[in-house]
């Protein structure tokens, strides 16, 4: 079922961003003009399958902002989107690598757009990630509880300071057998690793 109205109140955000997009635009703008619309079409199809709404692009025009009523839908969509992008028949020049975050919080919805610290926190968590990586907040992890989507696991990456936030965020990496597992250290202001 395709959702036409964006959810309000407490919502789950999936933020995406193309890793290295400035370099890609500088090196091969013609390829990016073709690859980015393909990426957007794939993301819109995935969002619709998981009852999500693509609100609008964020940042420099190569990132997306998708909202869901439920945390499980946001995590499932993130995994589905990474798998769909990996399966796309990109040429080496066209291949786009996405970094993603999923966070849930209370927001204000005005004129079809979202406002509040939860939006900013979702964007800051995304900024920690590397291409191909999906990060979720501790809020999302707690909402998932014991009901992780099929074939999905979580890796506790510890507490991380986020720019402009006084409280650190415990961040988890989403694991799936068909997604990369190993990434460099997160790009946080400082990291307090998990002691497990």
Q: What is the pLDDT of residues 66-93, one digit of tens each?
A: 999 999 999 999 999 999 999 988 777 7
pLDDT at 161: 78
The pTM score is: 0.88
Strand 9-18 to strand 98-110: parallel, antiparallel, or no bridges (unpaired)? antiparallel
Residues in the chain where the model's pLDDT stays below 70:
1-6, 56-61, 165-166, 188-196
DSSP codes joined into one string, the chain? ----SPP-EEEEEEEEEETTHHHHHHH-HHHHHHHHHHHHHHHHHHHHHTT-EEEEEETTTTEEEEEESSHHHHHHHHHHHHHHHHHS---TTT---EEEEEEEEEEEEETTEEESHHHHHHHHHHHH--TT-EEEEHHHHHHHTT-PPTTEEEEEEEEE--TT-SS-EEEEEEEETTS----PPP--SSEE----
- Beta strand pairing call for 169-176 and 9-18: unpaired
Digit-coded pLDDT (tens) for 128-146: 899 999 999 999 999 998 8
What pLDDT sits at residue 74? 96
What pLDDT sits at residue 1?
45
């Amino acid at each position: 079922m395709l959702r036409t109205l964006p959810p309000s109140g407490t919502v789950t955000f999936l933020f995406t961003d193309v890793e290295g997009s400035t370099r890609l635009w500088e090196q091969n703008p013609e390829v990016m003009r073709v690859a980015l619309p393909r990426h957007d079409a794939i993301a819109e199809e995935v969002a619709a399958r998981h009852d999500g709404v693509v609100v609008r692009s964020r940042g420099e025009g190569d990132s997306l902002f998708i909202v869901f009523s439920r945390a499980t839908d946001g995590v499932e969509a993130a995994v589905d989107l990474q798998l769909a992008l990996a399966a796309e028949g990109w040429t080496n020049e066209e291949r786009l690598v996405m970094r993603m975050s999923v966070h849930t919080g209370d927001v204000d919805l005005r004129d079809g757009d979202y406002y509040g610290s939860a939006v900013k926190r979702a964007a800051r968590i995304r900024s920690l990630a590397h291409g191909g990586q999906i990060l979720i907040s501790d809020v999302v992890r707690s909402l998932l509880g014991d009901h992780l989507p099929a074939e999905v696991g979580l890796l506790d990456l510890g507490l991380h300071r986020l720019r402009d936030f006084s409280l650190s965020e415990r961040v988890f990496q989403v694991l799936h057998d068909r997604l990369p597992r190993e990434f460099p250290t997160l790009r946080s202001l400082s990291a307090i690793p998990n002691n497990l």
